[in-house]
Structures are given as C-alpha cells and as structure tokens.
Structure 1
C-alpha cells in the first residue's frame, strides 16, 4: 500500500457526509502530525478533491469528486438497466424510488426517481445512508455475509428513536428478509419517512443492489399493490441483468419466477 495515497483516502473519508474539519481535527483523527495532513490536504485541494471554506480554516469535499462520481455512476450496468423500471415503478405507485449499492459499509443511492406529483423534492443520487437504518441497506446486509460482519462489528448508531441498534435484532431481521425478499424501515433513518426494498440479482445470481420505494410514515404499512409493483420491478431489472433466479419467499418458491 502506498502510504501517501492511503492517508489521502482517509482524509476524504473523514470529510464525507458534508463534514467540515480543520487541519488539527483531521490530524488528531488520523494520529498524524498537522504538517503532514496540511501537505496532503493542499495537494488534494490543488486537484479540486478538497475545498477550503471561504471564511475560516475548515475543509470540505471538493467539486472534482462530483465529476468523478458521475463517471462512476455512468459505468454501472445495474443503474442503466434499472432506470426505465424505476420510472414505471414511481408512475404506478405515485412514490419516489431509489436504487442503492453497498459502498464502504453504507448504501449509496445510485439513482433516484422523484415522486411524479410535481412537488419540490431534493435529488438523492449520491446520498449515502447507514446500511442498518435503510431498507435497501438491510437487504444488502442480509445477502452479503462480509458486509454484515463488517457493519455489525461496530456500534450501530441511532439516527432516530426507531433505529435498530441491537446486532441480534438485526440478524433476526436478515433471516426474515431472506425468507420474504423484502426489507423494511419505518422512520429509522429520517423521521416521517419509511421505505421498503427488494433485492436485485446479477447474471451470477448474486444480490448486487436493492431497489426501494419511499413513502410517508403516515401511509405505513405499504399496500399489497405497492409491494407487488416493487417485486415486479426488482424481478424485471434482475432479468435484464441475466439473473438465472430471483430471491423469493422460500415457502413459495416458483421455478418460473424469473422467466
């Protein structure tokens, strides 16, 4: 491992999630001399990967990362294959839809379809959500033992009063998700918001992403029709990716499910 690159990556990691930090704070977090951190930060700043706030001596992630992330998203086949099915899903349900993949122990939204009601909504593509507090994240955790082991090895942070923070409860939920091929969260990440997610499979039958619909907590639980539309979207995306099977309730396995 090249030490300078490793340190630069750790600095970018510290600044994720709209964090603003000074040189002294970053140096303390990384247990490095402030002069070393200052030199790396200035190099990152020269490439637009880090930006200094106009007033003060704090730093944030830079605009060049946005361009790099857009290139990354454009290379994801699952995103390209999902877009028309997500549009149809939002049109049928009247709800916003999200597509997410695992990234450094969290879920990153790689595509977001807004509610089709014309209301003002924040774009969510590029947003990260802690896996344990997201319906998409729970699905990805349930089907990826390494991801789950990594997340559950650290304290689970409570984002709201409803966030599940007990590892044993999370493991029980993973078992249910594998039985039903559905993940749920109700006000666990954002107060007033709930979501339900289903897995998306690759041509090797592995779960590589999750698709979700987002609804107001006042409309919880989702209707059977919403669940059906979500499952159909997940199945169609998986089919386009060449998946030989699609996760489904074990008690109701259907060999023709993907055909």
Structure 2
C-alpha cells in the first residue's frame, strides 16, 4: 500500500488525493462522507481532493445527493496519465531554452497541438491580440478571443478571404499554373511578444511556427498594418484607385513582381 501511495505521489497527486484514489479503488462507489469516515481524514480535505480529481477527469461522479464518486478503470486511468505525461515531456523538450538559442522557432504539426498551444497563449494575453485568419479558423478561436476582450485585452482582427491584391500576380516558379493552394494561412501576435504563423486546410496537416523572436513579431505586425491600411484606402478611394491604376492595382504590382502585367 505504501509503495502504491508513493508512486501515485511521484505522478503528481497529493498525499490526500492518493489516499482517496486507493480508497475508492478498494471500496467502489462512495460518498465523500464515506471516504472521510474510512480514511479518518477531515471531510473538508476529502471533499477538496474528490473535487480536484473529478475536475481532472480521474473520477466518475454520480447524480443525486449526496454525490457519489468512483474510480476510472485502472487501464483508462493509466492511459490518461501516460498521455498527459508524454505531452508535458514533449513540451519541455521542445520549449526548454538551449545554449545559443534564446529565442527559438518551434515547429508544430496537427490541429490538436497547434490549437492547444494557441489556446494557452490566448488565455495568457494581458494587453493585445492581433489576429489575421480566414473565416474557417476565426470560428475556432472566436470564443477565446471574446473571453480575452472581457478581461480587457484589445483584440484586432483581419479576416482573409483569399482575395489579397498580390495573390494572383505572385510568380509560381516551378509550380504548375493551375496548382491549388495547400491551405489557408493564419497568424497571431500576442502582447507584441509571442507569435504563431501557420497554414491549415483539407489537403495536408495543420502546421505552424511559434516564436518570440522580435523580427518575426515585427513582420507579422507590419503585414497586419499594411492589410488594414489597404482595406481603409479601398473603402475610401476605391473608384479613384481603380481608375488610375487598374483593378486591384495591376500597374503598381506589375512593376515589382515578375509575371505581373507591365502595362494596363
């Protein structure tokens, strides 16, 4: 018994949580009062441990009064613990600073990992979040951004519909002229310190780069500012711009991007 309690505590459970888990595993479905009586611990401590364990998904809770608790099957319990430990180990390996790399760039792949990292950072935002996404990705983070605004965080949005002015004139190089984009780009800058740049779509896995490097943060903020300024100019001077430079400013773009029109 002592050895089991010792290993449960090694996995991060408190002494009281470990005792409660073992007690429920031995006796099955029980109320907090029953657990308190059998362990000899105070009701307040037992109830606090039960609520923490239930909140973390390690216990089943029944309906009715008094609430009754029961342990997960041991195979399910160890699977959950193993998965969380593995996730923590991978995060430590990826994020731990290394000599000579004070502001590393982290590569992420898969919806689960990318969205989990983004959710953590949005939840930590204190001052400002700058968002440049497509509508599909905007729907995934809308609730978290609303929560940030309720905390007093300034949230700035830009929603991309794939109609960027440069889009159709960018040279494809070795790619086929009819190549289909691999996905939808997205970027986030939190408190002008942390940023994520990535791509998501149906033709491949979600991928992203995360960093606190000031150069990347500055590039993303500049891109956001440029998009907002162009949007405001189009709304204010759209007819004049089209008359002078052509639809979507072909004359200007053609000067600087190979493959674009030279004369309009």
TM-score scaled by structure 2? 0.31
TM norm structure 1: 0.32
> Which is greater in Rg?
2
Question: Higher helix share goes to which structure?
Answer: 2
